[in-house]
Structures are given as C-alpha cells and as structure tokens.
Structure 1
Amino acid sequence: MSFDVAVLGGGPAGMAAATEAAQRGARVVLLEESPAPGGQVYRAPPRGFVIRPDSDARAGNALRAALAASGAEVRTGCRVWGVGGGVLVAAGVAPAPFRLDALAPDGRSFHVESRALVVCAGTHERIIPFPGWTLPGVMGLAAATILTKAQGVLPGRRVVVAGAGPLLFAVAWKLVKAGAEVAAVVDLATTGEWARAMPALAARPDLLARGMAWRAGLRARGVPVLSGARIAAAEGGAVLERVRVSERIFDCDALCIGHGLVPATEATRTFRATHRYAAEDGGWVPVLDRDGRCSVPFLYAAGDGAGVRGAAAAPAAGRLAALAALHDLRLLDAPSHAAARAIPARAHARAARAGAAMARMMAMRPALVAAIPPETVVCRCEGVTRAEIEAACTDGATDMNQLKQFTRCGMGPCQGRLCGEAAAELVAMRGGGREKVGFATGRLPLRPVAMDALLGEFDYADIPVPAAAPI
C-alpha cells in the first residue's frame, strides 16, 4: 500500500508528525512497535490496566486523541525490521518510493511504501558496564519506567536509583509514590553541573518546578541523594543483594541505572544519510536542516532519535518535519508552509533549550568507561570483556566494524544497542576519537525477527536445485 508520508515510530514526535500531515490532507501511515502510540514518556498502559493518571499520561492521551481524529492510518504492534527504496536502489536506478518491511502482531509480514519518510525512532538507554551489572535485579531506568507506568509493577522492594539526567529523579519519585523504598539516589552530576544548567531550565519553568518537587519530595522522605557519585559495583550471589558506592554499601534487591540516552539511528544510517558525532546530543545523530530534513531527499528525522531534546520538544519537531515533507512533496505551497511552521518552530526553540541542558548532563562520561575493569563483560550477548576489546585494538581494530569482525562485539540480539557506546569509547581511547571510530554499518534486520516469520513454510522440495554441470 502506498502513502504520501510514512512515520516510523509512535512517540510524541511521531504522533505529532502523523497528525499534522494527515490533518492537512496527506495520506499518512504510522508504524509503531508497542501496542499503543506514546513512546517511553507517554507510554499507555495495556488494555484492562488501570493506572493512576499523571501529567505525562494526560499529555500522552491528548496526543493519542489528536492522532486518532486526524485520519492517519495507525498500525501498532508492528515491528519494522527492514527499510528500502529511497536511495537504496540498484546503481544507476532512480530513487524509488520508500519501503518499510514489518511484522504484524499476528506474525504476518507486510510492507508499506511512501513518497516521504519521517523517522521518529526515539532513543535507547546507555548503560556503561561495571562489576556486577549482569546480575538479576539490575535494570535500566527505562525498564523501571515501563514497569511502573505501563504495568503498575515495582522493580523491587528496596531500590537504588543511579545514573544521570532528569529521568533519575523521575524514576525515584515514581517508585516512592508507588510504595517502594528507595535506598539511595546516586547522581553522576555534581551540584555545580545542576547549577550551571539552571538558566536553561528556566526557559521551561513548569518542567523545572516539577523536577525540583521530585527532589524535595525525596529529601523529605529521607532518601539519600549522592551527587557526583557512581556505582562502583553491584554485588550478590544468584541475584543482586547490595551496591557499592565508594566506601558506602546499600542493601537492595533492585538497581535501576542509566547513563543517558542514545539516539536510535539504525534507519537513517541504513539509508546512508550523513551523520555527525555530538556527545551533547546523545552521540551519533543525522545531520539535519532546521526543519528535520536529512541529507537524503524526502527523508526526515524528528524527536530524540535526531538528537536528545526531551519529550517536551518532540511534538514540535515532529510537526516541523511533517510540514517540510508536505512542502517538498508539493502538497503545501511556500507561503502556507512558512505560516504553518512559525508556531511549532517557536515552541521547539523554547523547549529544546531546556532539553539541551539535560542532554549535556546525560552526555557520555569517558571516566566511566575508563573505570571498567578488564574482566568485566561489555557485550553481554557475545560475552566479550573489556580485556578482549583491548586485545582486538592491539591487534589492529581501529573502528567499530573492525571490532565486530575481531570479537563479535555487537553481533548479538541487541545489535550493539547495549554495548556499542562503551565499546566505541574503549576503541576511541586508544587514539583517534569517536569520529574516527565511527559506528557499525547499518544493516537489516533493524530489529531481531524470527526466521520463520520471514521465510514462511516450505520444505526441501520447494528449493530449486540447478542441474548438475556436465563433466
């Protein structure tokens, strides 16, 4: 089926982009892997679950309602595993409509085509390895958010929350409100870093007030907040029992930890769009113009997948990208485009200032990588340790593709999403920096999928066997 605009990802940017384009008469399809649009921040609870609404739930519900009324075709529960078309055609062939290959909730494979593609793929969490990080009971801040927001489940009874950025305090406060005992909040950022961020945060006094209320609420309940500190080790037998922070030990049955967010650029990298490394934006990001246009014609990116700026800035970014797509497709004339983009452009600039301050606080911290002990596993899927990565560098691996070839690091089911940042930083520490180390070449499938879902049913009689060559 062919559309004017396809939107990959149903977070706040994707919902806003699809809504904007559909409301202006374009044929739009949005593909989202979760059962309902919303992304991480505005994640909807499963059908039948009753979760007490908060400000995030209300904002998410408003975006979902607008999307439902827009006329856009929304396909949820669909895992997009392949992209094609655009510039991904045979040499000498003109660019073709974009193609997205996906699996439906029933396991059926299907594809859609569109004249323009807006990628709103969001982020994945960065966790820098430390001793004990593979113990059951250690999880990401995003995983804890999903448990509490979408399922109403606590990650543990006594929890340590650690890492960097505003999600740290949001998770800790939600856990306290949900009935968990938060043993400590371990914040990588120093009080000085927070003080330097305050002028930018003041651009969004509503968000600033909410963050300050979280911190005040935690302190009022006697939760220790350790600034400028990191988890030295997670310890226990078969499961997590305690965490070590410098000289202090906190008994706990869960550790929720996150060292920032990394833009999900698998799709834009596969299309060979130009990217740049910007630690303050979360890492590798596509090079965009002010409206979200990539270097590939009719390919756009918006939201945190195009550079971490937070959920507040994402809807405006999605609307700007949708308007740019409509203008480029000649579905919106230049005067109408200029008038329509003015309001979301102002909204994005205002929200992005505060988001950028938080993104800087969540940027990669090389000292964390330098502290990884040699025997610590970095790539959990393939069991690759720091020592093995260092040995590969000694043997001549100088970029991420070579590291994969030497060690299989990043070749497991997570496809490098969990280990890629730490591994790349370890290679970069040997000389050259992150730009030189680069990123793993974008390849299909973008997400792990079962082979039988793609191949269907067949037996050996269905396989064409060429006749034997004459002797």
Structure 2
Amino acid sequence: MTQVKCDLLIVGAGPAGMSAAIEARAAGLDVVVADEGNAPGGQIYRDAAQSPLADATVLGDDYLAGRALIERFAGSGAKHLARCVVWQVAFEDGRVIAMLTRKPHDERGGTLEVTARAVLIATGAQERPWPVQGWTLPGVMGIGAAQTLLKSSGLAPSQDAVLAGSGPLLWLFASQLLKARRRVCAIVDTTPSHAWRTALPHALPALAGADYLLKGVRMMRAVKQAGTPIHRGACAFSIEGDGRAESVRFVDASGAQHVIRTSLVLLHQGVIPSTQLPRSLGCEHEWDAPSACWRPRTDARGRSSVERVWIAGDGAGIGGAIAAMHAGTLAALDIARELGALDAATRDARNRPAVRAMKRHLAVRPLLDALYTPPAALRRPADGVIVCRCEEVSAGEIRGIAALGCQGPNQMKAFSRCGMGPCQGRWCGTTVSELIAQVQQRSVGDVGYYRIRAPIKPVTIDEIADSIALDDDFTRGEFPS
C-alpha cells in the first residue's frame, strides 16, 4: 500500500474539483485530486482536452470551453490521481484518511492511503432513476451514459434510437447527434403540458440567466427544424420487447396512443446530486421538494455539517458546470482560510467575483426545476415495475412491505435486500424513500434514506486486504483458524 500526505484531498476532477484545485494551489496548499476518469474534466468536459471525435465541435461551444479549465488545472501543480476509486474516507486524530484503489493495477496502481487536513467532495451528479416497465431490458440506457460513449469513444447511437423523458440534457444530446449527422427516430417528451404554467412565476428572475435560456430555445428549434418527430406531454410510457427492447408505447398530450418500433431507448429525467460519499461520512442531508431529490446541507461556501468536509458543485445541488466551477472556487478559498493559508479578509475579497457569477448562473434554476422536475406519477412506478435492478425488487413488493409498517429504507433493505447490490442503492434509494412515503402518507424527509457504509464503491477482498497495515510479527493462519 502506498501512503500519500497532503493539505487538501479533492474527490472528483470535474468543473468544481478542478477549479478548487487551482484556487487551493494558488493559496499555497498541497493538493491531491482523485478521480475515476482517465483524464480530468468530469462528465461535462469528459475527454475535452483530447476528444476521440474527428470534429469535437459537434458537442458544442460549452464543451470546448472546458479545455481552458483543464489546461489551468494541469498547470496548477495539483497531484492528479486518475482512474482512482475512493471507497472509504474516515477521520483519525483530526485528519482525513481516504482509501483509494487505482485501476488498472500496475507499478503505479494498487491501494493508496491519502492523509489530508481537509477533504472537498466534488463528485457531481447522477442521472435520476426513472423506473418504467421494461427499463431493465437490453437496449435501454440513460442518455447520460450514451453521451459518455460519444465523448469518450466517439460512439453514436443507432439511427432508430428513441429519446424519452424530460430536461435540458434530452435536447442537448439530440442536438449533438444532429450535428454529428445522426438521425433521431423520435423524442418522447414527458414534460406535463401544465408545467409551463407552474414555471411562469419564475420566468422574470430567470432572465438574469437569459443566455442559458436562449441556448435551450436554439437546441429545441434545431431539433424541430431537422424534422425529428416530437411527441409532447407523453404519459403511460413503457418499453416492450421479448428479451430486448423492441418498441415503446405511450399516450401523448392529445390522448392518442403511440407505438414506435426501436432497438435502442435512451431515458432521461434530469440529474440529482451524487450523495453516497458525503452520506458515508455522516453529513446531514435534506429532501429538496422543488427538485424532488436529496441534497447535503451546506453553507454558501460548501462547508458541510461534518468538520473538515466541504462539498461543491452539482453534488451539493444541481446548478450546472459554470456554477459548479465557481462553487469550487468558493470552497477552496474557505478551506485555505480554515487551514491558515489565507486570512478572512483575503478570502472574502477573492470570493466576491465568484459569488456574483454564481448568483447569475443559478437564477435560472427555479424555472428549470418547476418545468422539468418529473411529477410524482413518473417518480413512483406501478407495482409491476422493477425498482431495485440489482436485487430485482418491484415497486409492489416495496409498497407491500411499507404497508406492514416498515419505517424506512434501512429496514426495507433488511426485509427485501433492496439496495444491497453492486450499485449500493444509487439507483433505487430515492424511489424507495418516495414509495414508503406514499404508502404511509409521510414526508420523504421523514422517511429518510439508506445508511451508507464503506466500502462505498465495489472493491475486491484483495484491495481491502492491501489497505491493512500488518505488524512485523504477523503470521498468516490456516482457514478456518
């Protein structure tokens, strides 16, 4: 096992993590950035520095803008650990101790122990699970996963792909495919027809982020002008097929029923904060009703409820890449102040530009939340739909156990194994909480979430064993001993 010491450990090399590393290094801190990707950038700027696409402009100006941030990060002097899975973070004598496994194993890989004075969690967001009939069939995946393939490998989906769901990424990916000269079979938009009326009160404040809104309008117009069939206000959506996806069935806003033949269905219902790591550290979380997701409790500088732990970027609340970048800057400045590298006056002076920029970029979020947060009917599936993909537990089983008086997701886990698979609840946790709340007529915040324990990512016994320091007089016993 290799041991590394630093002032600040940053988990995640997306916009928030890179910006924080740049600012922390400028303040004189020794910084280590651990990330699962092959190169810095996170999901939004994945492989932006060296895209496999012959023409990366198809991904848009916002994607290409990430190259400047990546270059600044590369020149910051922060130690970047690529292909690293952080599977445990603990505290000892006021220090943060993290266990990482670097993959693939080579002379630079294996298990690492990083000891730091503070940790910044910048793990970003994950796609919101959308359990529908047939979502476990081969030929069904998330739009975010499909976009990852396009960015990292230059692989575009087949010409008969149906994009279904709601949210900005739905339209962004469709427009990127069209720029790449790929055809989209159809877009099935589940945004309720009344959502615009709900969002209207937020329209005036959102004008502070008018450039963001104009980008969205242009994307929608481009998709429409390309002749892509668009079915709005869709409901009763399901995926059908014998052994793999063969068609989608839904009802549009007019009440007409549709069946579209397809071999590839790409689903999306927005993104939610990735909360596994901060939960494992005991950071307090709250249910964000307007966004219908869990988020950690943090102050304006990203400081969590746990000492020496900061959270920045979409992992603290969805705000987009630019807002995440400024959030990383604010967190790094606060950490530098906490560790004695800056005084309060210098921190506050450097804060001001980032605070102003964040306010402008977040102005549009209430409008987007009102418009694109899926209604309860889409978040709480019918009884026959699989919710926990790992253990194949259906919504009906969860509702049945909840009706018996099961008090929360942790007890549900014991009764049904829901959340005990390789994803460790990432793909079922939010839905399980909502289903229990629905049956018992409680608030989701009262129901709670899974208790997350290390290892927070799947690791082998060999990797765990490699992290254990052995005394010189250790002798291996026989099994059973």
TM-score by length of 1: 0.91
More deviation in 357-366 or 28-37?
A: 357-366
Aligned to 2:415: 406
More deviation in 180-189 or 69-78?
A: 180-189
Aligned to 1:358: 368
Aligned to 2:81: 75
Cα RMSD (Å) of the superposition?
Answer: 2.3
Correspondence 1:328 to 2:338: yes
Q: Secondary structure at the residue paired with 1:378?
A: strand
Correspondence 1:132 to 2:138: no
2:5 to 2, 7, 10: 2
Paired residue type of 1:145: Q
Paired residue type of 2:390: C
Aligned to 1:420: 429
Aligned to 1:162: 164
Would the aligned equivalents of 2:189 and 2:232 in 1 still touch at CA under 8 Å? yes
TM-score by length of 2: 0.90
| Aligned-pair CA distance for 1:254 | 1.2
Question: In structure 2, how many angstroms separate the alpha carbons of the residues matched to 1:4 and 1:457?
Answer: 21
| Aligned-pair CA distance for 1:465 | 6.6
| Aligned-pair CA distance for 1:156 | 2.2
Paired residue type of 1:147: L
Would the aligned equivalents of 1:279 and 1:363 in 2 still touch at CA under 8 Å? no
Q: Secondary structure at the residue paired with 2:161?
A: strand
| Aligned-pair CA distance for 1:318 | 0.5
How many equivalent pairs are there?
457
Aligned to 2:143: 141
Q: Unpaired runs of 5+ in structure 2? A: 252-256, 469-473
Would the aligned equivalents of 2:53 and 2:151 in 1 still touch at CA under 8 Å? no
Would the aligned equivalents of 2:49 and 2:67 in 1 still touch at CA under 8 Å? no
Q: Secondary structure at the residue paired with 1:186?
A: strand
Aligned to 1:289: 299
Aligned to 1:84: 90
Per-residue Cα deviation, 1:51-108 (whole angstroms, up to 9, x for no partner): 42331332221111111111111111101111111xxx5xxxxx52111111112330
Q: Unpaired runs of 5+ in structure 1? A: 90-94
Aligned to 2:471: none
Question: In structure 2, how many angstroms separate the alpha carbons of the residues matched to 1:207 and 1:262?
Answer: 19
Identity of matched residues, %: 35
Aligned to 1:433: 443
Aligned to 2:207: 202
Per-residue Cα deviation, 1:302-351 (whole angstroms, up to 9, x for no partner): 10100111112110000000001111112100111110000001111111
Would the aligned equivalents of 2:89 and 2:97 in 1 still touch at CA under 8 Å? yes
Correspondence 1:217 to 2:215: no
Pairwise mapping of residues 16-27 of structure 1 onto structure 2 (< 5 A)? 16-27=19-30
| Aligned-pair CA distance for 1:240 | 1.3
Question: In structure 1, how many angstroms separate the alpha carbons of the residues matched to 2:429 and 2:369?
Answer: 19
Would the aligned equivalents of 1:158 and 1:183 in 2 still touch at CA under 8 Å? yes
Aligned to 1:446: 456
Paired residue type of 1:24: A
Would the aligned equivalents of 1:164 and 1:361 in 2 still touch at CA under 8 Å? no
Question: In structure 1, how many angstroms separate the alpha carbons of the residues matched to 2:70 and 2:258?
Answer: 45
Q: Secondary structure at the residue paired with 2:52?
A: coil
Pairwise mapping of residues 28-427 of structure 1 onto structure 2 (< 5 A)? 28-44=31-47, 49-53=52-56, 54-85=60-91, 89=92, 95-107=93-105, 108-190=110-192, 192-194=194-196, 196=200, 198-230=203-235, 232-246=237-251, 247-281=257-291, 283-370=293-380, 372-427=381-436
Q: Secondary structure at the residue paired with 1:121?
A: coil
Per-residue Cα deviation, 1:249-282 (whole angstroms, up to 9, x for no partner): 1122211111221211122112212221113345
Q: Secondary structure at the residue paired with 1:129?
A: coil
| Aligned-pair CA distance for 1:49 | 2.3
Q: Secondary structure at the residue paired with 1:106?
A: coil
**Distance verdict in 2 for CA 1:198–1:457, change over 3 Å:** closer
Would the aligned equivalents of 1:128 and 1:259 in 2 still touch at CA under 8 Å? yes
Question: In structure 1, how many angstroms separate the alpha carbons of the residues matched to 2:361 and 2:410?
Answer: 36
